[in-house]
Every structure is written in C-alpha cells, then in structure tokens.
Amino acid sequence: MSSVTDTSETTHSASHDVHDPHLHDEVKVELSPDFLAQADKIVSKYPVSKRSAVMPLIYLWQDNFGYVSQQGVRWIAQRIEIQPINVMEVLTFYPMFRQHPVGKIQFKVCRTLSCALAGSYETCEFLRKKCGITEIDEHGLGVSDDGKFSVEFVECLASCGTGPVVMINDDLYEKVDTSKAQELLNKVS
Amino acid sequence: MAFVKNAFQHDILPADTPLINVQIDGEWVQVPKGLNAIEAASRAGKFVPHYCYHPKLSIVGNCRMCLLEIGMPKMSPDRKPIIGEDGKPEIGWIPRPAIGCATQLADGMGIRTDSKLAKDCREGVMEFLLINHPLDCPICDQAGECKLQEYSVEYGQSESRFVEQKVHKPKKVDIGERIVLDDERCIMCSRCIRFAREFCKDDVLGFTQRGGFTTLAVHHDKRFDNNYSLNTVDICPVGALTSKDFRFKMRVWFLRETPSVCTGCATGCNVTVGAREQTVYRLTPRENEDVNSLWMCDQGRLNIGYFQGPDRLTEPLVRVGGSQVGAVWSNIYPQIQHKMLGLKGEQVAILASARATNEELFVIADVRRSLGGDTVLADIVPRPGKSDGVLQNADRNPNSAGTRIFGLNYKGQNIAKIKEAIDAGKIKALFCFHEDAVEAGIPAETLQKLDLLVLQHIVPGPTGALAHFVLAGAAWTEKRGSMINAAGRLQRLNKATACPGSAREDLEILLNLRTALTGGNSLHKVEEVFKAAASQYPIFEGLTFSRITDLGVQLDRSKLPRPQVVKGSVVAEPDFAEEFAPREMPVKSEGLPATTPRISA
C-alpha cells in the first residue's frame, strides 16, 4: 500500500500521559483497616452518587501514601464503581494531585503578583539550587535526586501583605527572602 | 422497527408533536416543538456548523461552533407578545450568542444563523481549533471528509495569525484492537467518549490533562476493544480516531460509494461500500432509522477480506481426469446438462445458502421444482450465533427469511439425510450454492461417491477440490439482489465492484443453468426475476425490484413464514427471536411456508 508516511509500529510518547509504561511497575502498598474505614466514611457522604467521592478519595490516598499510584487509581475506581479512566481524568486535571513521588519536604513558593513583586522568583531559584534540583517537570515541580526535597511554584497562598510566602509541607512562612530561605532549609534538613 | 435503540434522538420527534412558530433568519416557519436550534434550522434549510453535537448522543456543548443569535418574543407588561407592523410577533434579540445545540426553541423565538455575530463567532472558534491542530491533511485519512477542513473553507479565516509553538501530544496511540488515535488532531469534541459511554455502555475513553494539553486517552487496564468501536471513526469529525484496517490505504475521494446491505447477520445493516476499481476498501454504516440507525458492528464492517483473498475463484473449473482445468462458461452448461440426463428428482440434492439473494433462491427453487419438487432434497447451512442485544442477530445468515419463503430452509436437518442418501447411492448429483459441503458436514469420502458435484462459490474450499464443476460466483458486493432481514424488511444489495476475472454474477450462472436444465429462458435480469417471484409468492405482491429503494420495504410480518419455535424455548420478541432452537432439543422438521407458491403456467 501507500508509503507516503510512517506506518511503523504504534508508539507511545510524552512521559506524563496515561500511556506511560513505567506507571505499571511500582511498589504496592498495604491498605490498613483505618484507611479503609476513612474511605468508607468519605463514600458514605455521597449517597446519591458515589462518583462524587473521587476527589476526597484521591486526597485521602495522597495524604497516606504521598502520591496516587496506579494501584491507587484502580482501587479508587473499583471503590466507587467507575472506570480507572474516570479517575485519571480528575487526577491529571489538577497538578496538586501527584502521580509520582514528591519530596518528603515540599517547598511551595507563591508566585502570584504580590509575592512575585516581592521576590518569590529569587526565593524559588535559591531553594532549587540549594536542594540540588536541576530538572523540573511540566507543572514546574522539581524533586531533588535523593527524594528529600521538592520545590514548586503555587498560586496565591492568601498572605499577600507579607510576600514572598512559602509553605513547607502544611506550614506557612512569611517574608521568605533568600537568607530566610537558608534559615528554613537549615531548620528542616 | 429499528433494531437499535439510541439513548438520544434529537433529530426525530414523534409524528404527533405539535408545531410552533419560530423565526429563522428572518423567515417565520413552523417546526415541531422540542427541536434544538440546529435541528430546527436544518428543517428550514439552514445549516448550522457543529462538531460536538450529534443527534444520537447527549448534548455537551463544548465545541462552541454552533454559536448563533437567539431572540425571545417581546412581551407587553401584561405578558402578551407584542405584534409588529407586519402582524408577526416582535423579537428582542439577546446580544450574547448562544449555542444552538443546547437551545430548545419555543413558540415565538427567533434565531439568526448568518448574522455578523454568528459569523464572527465561528471564525473565532475555527481559529482556536486550528491553533494546536497539526494540519497534516496531506497524510490524514480523514482528509476529504473532515469537518475541520470543510468548516475551515466555509467559516474560517483565510490567513493564520498563529506564530507560537503548537502543543505536541501523543501520536499513533494504540487505544484498542481496531483503532489508532492521533491526539494532536483531536479537537476535544468528546463524541467518541459519549458514544462509548452511551451506546457501547463501555466507559473507556476520557480526557486527561487540562486546557491546551487536554488529551484523549484510555487507561491501559481497559482499552477500547468494543465491537462497535469503529463507529467512533465515523463520528470523529477529524482524523484523530482512525481505523487500523483502513489507515493509509486509500484517499477517500477516490472511493466509489455504493449503497448496499451488510450480509454478516440477519439484521442487514445498511452500508455504503467504498470501492476503487476492483477493490472494496471499506464499509461504512448508512443511515436507516428502521434498521441500524447510523451504526454497524466492527465484525460486519471488517468482513470484506474473505472474498478479496488470494484463494478467490476467478474462472470456472472443470474436472478432467484427476485434475481441474479452467473452462469457458458456454461449454460448462451443456456439460452439466449432459451429466444430469436421466437423473430423477430423488437422485439430486441441493445445498442452498441463506447468504443467497431472493432472486437466486427463487431460481434455485424454480429449478428444484422442475427437477422434482420436494423429492429433491434441499437445505441450507444454518449459522446460529449469539445476539449481542444491539445490532448483531443470533442468526448469522443474512437471508434466512428468504430461504423460508422459497421453501429451501430445513434448518440444516436435511444435510445429514443428504449424506446418508449419497452413502446409500440414492443421490447421484449434488449442487452446492455458496456453501461448502465438507464444512457443512458431508465428508470428502461421501462426496467422492457422487457422479456429479457442482460447486458455485467464491473460494474453492475443501469441496472445490472434489467438484466436477466449480462455478466462480460473485461476492455480495459484486451483485445485485434482495434479502429479507430478521424483522421482515426487504432490502437491496447493489453492485459495487465487478467480479474478478471471468467470475460471473450468481444469478446469471443460475439462469444459464436453469435454461440448460429446464429449457426456461424467459428471465434475464434481476428485475425480471424479482417480478417473476412477486407473481408467484404473494408476500411480494405489488413490489418490483426498484420499489424496494435504498431504504428497503417492510414486508407484512404476519404473512412471513416464521422460524419454528420449539416448545419451552423462551422467545422474548419476535424480531430478536432465536432462529435456532438449542441443538439437544427435539426439533420438528419445518414444513412448507404458509404461502404455498402458485405454480405458474
């Protein structure tokens, strides 16, 4: 037949998509009775449509295991009786849902206007350099090679008068210039 | 009665739907109440371009291509419509455009499909859609039937203002057994997602990522392997979903399109055969709301390889001594006639086929009558399968109803009798029409005892090697004729390609055989044969071949010989009746049809 174009074997591309082959092999986690009870409680909040529990369950999984693996996707899908692709639709929509492990210590640097004017880009650059982060993914997330730190930009953290602000895991720090950032680094590492 | 029930029918309303007055591009017209603006406009002869809207799928309104201007009737303070100077209600136009697909028209409303606002909207939408589209039209399978191409010409801008980098997405993604996805071409209309969810009940497709990066995908746990998956290739407005079978095979504008009917099962889905020169490249479903709506199964659609393979018979063969040699048609008929001399009816058997057309079956039945009527053992090969509850019928023969009308259907029970009679030396001649005797259960050792074995088929098969005469016939895309589906609808096959080599249309071969064996030579064309059948079989009363039309004719079901239903077997609905009773149950042999044929003078 016509040889106008490349008809070679079908290939996959773009490492971040659902076709990513390395999503297959990963460590399986055990689900504790406590986790299952929490999940049941979440699902029971949506008596009309279990499907609505998809976001709270993704949060639950991420809070427990750091990121939502394909095991998590499959488990959530069967728990609320939807297809895995429906979970993937939500999971990939929000960058705050992680599909890959992130650092144990997560720096979230605000880059919305006030913080940006106050120098958050310098702060972020400083943190990345100090943590040894060289590569960042399509959402701007960078993870250090040892997996200890991750640094990323986020949008407004609602403390515009005290920029640049940074969240370290769930704690907010204000007026984080490079010297304050060094202090924080020393504190957490 | 349609076989398939669509979850949505935005384009068809009950016949008794009341009419409303609406203004479409300045003209007051009456349309049925409940139509959306796209459908209402189309009834008034106005086309509103759209991508995501599909009459048989839910409405999502995400492509924005059908934006138009909407107006509501102006009301006086006492909530009465204000009548203008022309005696028609005045319309207050809403300055903001609205999508036509999700706007149901009410009495007194107006729409403008060709105003400046509507045109500007389309231009803007087209510009956005083309931003990340790869514009690889020269190698795209959809080129020529692509809505993005068509609307670009009709509603787009002549120049691109885009200078940035296009977003790159996965290409050549294998999302199912028969489908390859090119994500860069996708315009995110979500028709395929909704089709999988609503029609296939197989929710396997979805959008991942967000914004300009939105990507159609399947999860590797569950791919799009549904038997109706290729319909998404048809409804995809662009070349994102492509059929692995048709991909890069042929530019669509070279295809000659012939309306016909799928012969994969007793549903008889209406199809368009796409062929170039002698080759059939694809089948696509053809709209018929009384049969298949807009759909067909993948199995039927891809069933075009078996008659285009290397083993296809392209010339008639005659056995000379131990080998078969090519022959000339004009010599074959006298030779067969010669061999048949002196044979009585009970010495002849016919293995007919429920894949044959009514016209062919009529001629076979006619020859059988001349040879001895019921004393000539005859049967067809049943093909029981499982109904999928959508379009695939449990009966995988396309014309079982026809074989019943012409009295050739004994549910395969005569095949064993034929075998016994050959073994006992009672039957000397066997004619196999488009069925392989060996595959039907008459072993080669038995067939070798025959004095005359004639096979008319498209491939030789195991019987071909044993036959004294092999008549090279036509595949269903190479001939004209009619068939009757499971619901009793008479439908027409049309000739899409010529027979290969010196193979001939089956009706022509049968008529020549009939002339040789019985002397009758009054029939030549398919129209004449149908006319003769209509004069003898009351079920066809008042019909001619041309009156069947491309959409078929519903026959009077009460007059159709029904498949015999065995006591105890559950039959939910006559149209979906399991044609074949379970094998282990005792089955009474089927008598002649209720409409006993009148013997013509």
Please indicate, yes or no, whether residues B79 and B228 belong to a single structural domain of this protein: no
Work out the average pLDDT over B461-472: 95
φ/ψ of residue B538, rounded to 5: -60, -20
A97: closest chain B residue by CA: B209
B292 plus B342 within the same structural domain: no
- Chain A residue numbers with beta carbons less than 8 Å from the beta carbon of B221 are 74, 84
β pairing state of B348-351 and B429-433:
parallel
Q: Verify that B515 and B553 share a domain, yes or no.
A: yes
For residue B527, tell me if it sits in a domain. Answer: yes
A22: contact with B, CB 8 A cutoff: no
Q: Is residue B157 part of a domain?
A: no
Average pLDDT over chain B, rounded to an integer: 91
Question: What's the average model confidence in pLDDT over B213-238?
Answer: 95
Q: For residue B589, is it within any domain?
A: no
**pLDDT, mean of residues B570-582:** 35
- Residues B546 and B442 placed together within one structural domain of the fold: yes
Instruction: Give B224 to chain A, closest Cα distance, Å.
Output: 11
A137 touches chain B (CB under 8 A): no
Domain-located, residue B109: yes
What's the pLDDT at B371? 93
> Which of B168, B208, B247 is facing A88, going by the closest CB pair?
B208
For residue B584, pLDDT beyond 90: no
CA distance B250 to chain A (A): 8
Closest residue of chain B to A85, computed from CA coordinates: B219
Whether domain A105-188 has CATH 3.30.450.20: the reply is: no
B203 contacts on A by Cβ (under 8 Å): 82-83, 85-86
> B29 forms bridges with which residues in the sheet?
B22
Mean pLDDT, to the nearest integer, of B388-414? 94
- Give A7's contacts in chain B (Cβ within 8 Å): 247-248
Q: B487 and B465 in one domain?
A: yes
- B94 and B177 fall within a common domain: no
* CATH for B57: 3.10.20.740
Weakest mean pLDDT among A21-35, B106-120, B191-205, B242-256: A21-35
Whole-angstrom distance, CA of residue B220 vs CA of residue A110: 36
Q: What is the pLDDT of residue A23?
A: 53
Amino acid at site B85: E
Task: Compute the average pLDDT of residues B446-458.
Answer: 96
Which residue reads 């009495």 in tokens?
A: B107
User: Who among B203, B209, B213 is closest to A83 (CB)?
Assistant: B203
DSSP state of B36: B
Q: Which is higher by pLDDT, B507 or B2?
A: B507
| Residue B444 shares a structural domain with residue B478 | yes
Q: How far is A181 from chain B (nearest CA, A)?
A: 32
> Which residue in chain A has the smallest CA separation from B210?
A93
* A19 with B217: Cβ contact below 8 A: yes
Q: Do A73 and B219 count as a contact with CB atoms less than 8 A apart?
A: yes
Q: Which residues in chain A are contacts of B62 at CB distance < 8 A?
A: none
Bridge partners (DSSP) listed for residue B242 = B180
Compare all CA atoms of chain B with the CA of A86 and give the residue at the minimum distance.
B206
User: Are B208 and A2 within 8 A, CB to CB?
Assistant: no
| Chain A stretch 45-104, residues whose beta carbon is closer than 8 A to a beta carbon of chain B | 73-74, 82-86, 88-89, 92-94
- Residue whose token pair is 């012969």: B263
Q: Would you call A10 and B173 a contact, using CB atoms and an 8 Å cutoff? A: yes
The answer to whether residues B468 and B430 belong to one domain is yes
CA–CA min distance B591, chain A (Å): 51
Question: In chain A, whose CA is at the least distance from the CA of B212?
Answer: A93
Question: Which pLDDT score, from 0 to 100, does residue A25 have?
Answer: 52
CB B214 within 8 A of CB B62: no
What's the mean pLDDT in B74-91? 91
Low-confidence ranges of chain A (pLDDT < 50): 1-17, 19, 21-22, 24
Peptide bond into B259 cis (omega under 30): no
Domain shared by B296 and B351, yes or no: no
Judge whether A75 and A31 are in contact, CB under 8 Å: yes
- State residue B554's pLDDT score: 95
How many of the other CB atoms lie within 10 Å of CB of B158?
6
CA distance B457 to B94: 66
Q: Which domain holds residue B113?
A: 19-124
Assess if residue B412 is contained within a domain.
yes
Instruction: Measure in Å the smallest separation between the Cα of A71 and chain B Cα atoms.
Output: 11
B5 falls within a domain: no
- How many independent structural domains does chain B possess? 3
Residue B219 with chain A: CB contacts under 8 Å: 18, 73, 83-85, 88
Cβ B218–A85 below 8 Å, yes or no? yes
In chain A, residues with a C-beta closer than 8 Å to the C-beta of B168 are 14
Tell me how close the Cα of B193 comes to any Cα of chain A, in angstroms.
Answer: 11
Which candidate in B142, B178, B186, B219 is best for mutational testing of the A interface (most A CBs within 10 A)? B219
Q: What is the DSSP letter of B346?
A: G
CA B51, B57, B59, B60 torsion-angle sign = negative
SS3 B162: coil
Helix (H, G, I), strand (E, B) or coil at B384: strand
The helix (H) or strand (E) run that includes residue B418 is helix B413-423
What is the phi-psi region of residue B321: left when phi exceeds 0, alpha when psi lies from -120 to 50, beta otherwise?
left
Nearest chain B residue to A15 by CA: give it.
Answer: B170
Answer yes or no: is B198 within a domain: yes
Nearest to A17 among B215, B221, B222 (CB): B215
Count of A-B CB contacts under 8 Å: 81
Nearest to A19 among B170, B210, B250 (CB): B170
Residue B8 domain-assigned? no
Interchain contact, A2 vs B206, CB within 8 Å: no
- Nearest partner of B272 among B284, B280, B262, B281, judged by Cα: B284
Q: Do B222 and A86 touch (CB under 8 A)?
A: no
Provide CATH 3.40.30.10 ranges for chain A: 105-188
Of residues B78 and B588, more confidently modeled = B78
- Rounded average pLDDT over B465-493: 96
pLDDT tens figures, A9-24: 333 333 344 545 445 4
The reply to whether B330 and B444 lie within a common domain is yes
What per-residue confidence (pLDDT) applies to B587?
32
Rounded CA-CA distance B37/A96 in Å is 40
